[in-house]
Amino acid sequence: MIQIEKLRKTYRSRGREVTAVDGVDLQVREGEVFGVLGRSGAGKSTLLRCVNLLERPDSGRVSIDGQDLLSLKGGALRRARQGIGMIHQHFGLLSSRTAAGNIAFQLEVMGVPRAERAARVDELLELVGLAEQAKAYPAQLSGGQKQRVGIARALAGRPKVLLSDEATSALDPETTASILELLRDLKLRLGLTVLLITHEMDVVKRICDSAAIMRDGRLVESGPVRDLLLRPGSELARGLFPLPAPNVRPGTTVVDVTFEDDSADQPFVSTIARTYSIDVNILGGAVEEIGGSRIGRLRIELPGDPDINAAQLAHLRESGLTVEVHGAAGVVAAEARTETEVLS
């Protein structure tokens, strides 16, 4: 488990101060993939570099499986860092060495005896599906294959924790999907705990169990992906289910309804229409497969103002759906399914 507490890092350059990480608390549970999502400059790389101590934080705590990394020195620190693998956006391979040579080099740096290296290289290449390309140089490999070498190299020290710095940002969508699939597979096979940073919603959708949104050095939203998607007002949900700003016509109620597997099979639109004898207009929506669950968001329009639709809205909530009601000036009421208060 990775535990980050009150982490802070400020850069000072040319008389200017930038607080890149501003009091971040974050917990990555053992065996999960945690994605930190944010725009350029949000502080994601700095946060990641503070976890493997490429960067020394000004204050706060980073611990892995209860071991406080900031208190370690010398050999103990080196050993702890070997237990943290890292993959990079631009792979960072040595162009003069083959795929096998790049991995062997890492083993050499880690002090693995020569006699053991060749077998371990083969094992690592096999693990990432690259046994055939052992003798190829980076220039002869595709982007996805280069990243596979990068992943094999990161796994050389048999780490329990893998950090990923925009590992798929330089790849096309199809290759991105195959690399994410590999990471998910490795996580399960090797019991890895993965902390990744990305600016791609798709990465969160495909692989992350939990996620956080980072802005100006702070985490503005954090938790299991499923919980975030079902939380009214969630930025992550807005990003994964992009719907245009609602255009609420006078005398109507516009509602975003979020549903998951167990409620996805309910024909809630026709049920509401039939039960209350009203016309329900569908304005937009999407369904996504996330972490093995089907989660969707539908925007519907009901005739009449929200107060007239109190019973209809209560009906939706009682059916286990997350309901967000838009007013003319945006969302006027967001109600989780656990909340019982009816619009007033």
Ligand X SMILES: Nc1ncnc2c1ncn2[C@@H]1O[C@H](COP(=O)(O)OP(=O)(O)OP(=O)(O)O)[C@@H](O)[C@H]1O
Summarize as ranges the residues that interact with ligand X (CB under 6 A): 11, 13, 18, 20, 38, 40-46
Nearer to ligand X, 44 or 337 (CB): 44
From the CB of 13, what's the least distance to ligand X, in Å? 5
From the CB of 18, what's the least distance to ligand X, in Å? 5
Nearer to ligand X, 44 or 206 (CB): 44
| End-to-end Cα separation, the chain, in angstroms | 44
Nearer to ligand X, 21 or 302 (CB): 21
Nearer to ligand X, 222 or 309 (CB): 222
Q: Which amino acid is at 36?
A: V
Nearer to ligand X, 57 or 246 (CB): 57
Tell me which residue of 319, 308, 301 sits closest to 343, measured CA to CA: 308
Nearer to ligand X, 104 or 195 (CB): 195
Cα–Cα distances in angstroms (integers) from residue 92 to residues 175, 195, 279, 284, 332, in the given order: 18, 19, 58, 43, 49
- The answer to whether 34 and 187 are in contact (CB under 8 A) is no
From the CB of 73, what's the least distance to ligand X, in Å? 23
Give the number of other Cβ atoms within 10 Å of residue 68's Cβ.
12
The beta strand positions in 207-251, using DSSP E, are 210-215, 218-224
- The answer to whether 126 and 100 are in contact (CB under 8 A) is no
- The answer to whether 33 and 164 are in contact (CB under 8 A) is no
Give Cβ neighbours of residue 230 (< 8 Å, ≥ 6 apart).
Answer: 237, 258, 260, 295, 322, 336, 337
- The answer to whether 327 and 306 are in contact (CB under 8 A) is yes
From the CB of 162, what's the least distance to ligand X, in Å? 18
Nearer to ligand X, 88 or 120 (CB): 88
Cα–Cα dist 148/183, whole Å: 10
Give Cβ neighbours of residue 20 (< 8 Å, ≥ 6 apart).
Answer: 9, 10, 11, 43, 46, 47, 217
From the CB of 84, what's the least distance to ligand X, in Å? 18
From the CB of 169, what's the least distance to ligand X, in Å? 8
From the CB of 109, what's the least distance to ligand X, in Å? 24
